[in-house]
Amino acid sequence: MWKKLYELLERLVTLSQRVSRQEKQIEELRQEARELTGMVHRLAMEVNRLADRQTSEREKMQLWVENQMLRFERRLPPARSSEDNSSTEKE
């Protein structure tokens, strides 16, 4: 009977130690999950910021192209009217 009681106490202590270790591991895993969640949040913010920046760059590029086209059009001589074309064709 004493032997059985000793074995039960020994088993109780062993299980108690296991539970303590597992609780510690669970807390470490929770902390790691919190850190990973923070990293994912920061990465999501960075992706959004980069997307906004790319949108802005595309808009600036589009405006630059439009500006260059307008400048180019101003350099061209005015188009001849249809009357000028018909008179030159008659000659």
Where are the domains positioned within the chain? 14-71
Instruction: Of 42, 13, 30, give the one whose Cα is nearest residue 5.
Output: 13
Buried-exposed string 11-26: b where 16+ CB fall within 10 A, e elsewhere: eeeeeeeeeeeeeeee
Q: Say what the pLDDT of residue 16 is.
A: 96
What tens-digit pLDDT sequence spans the chain (91 residues)?
Answer: 888 989 999 999 999 999 999 999 999 999 999 999 999 999 999 999 999 999 999 999 999 999 989 888 888 676 677 665 555 555 5
The radius of gyration computed from the CA coordinates of the chain, to the nearest angstrom, equals: 39
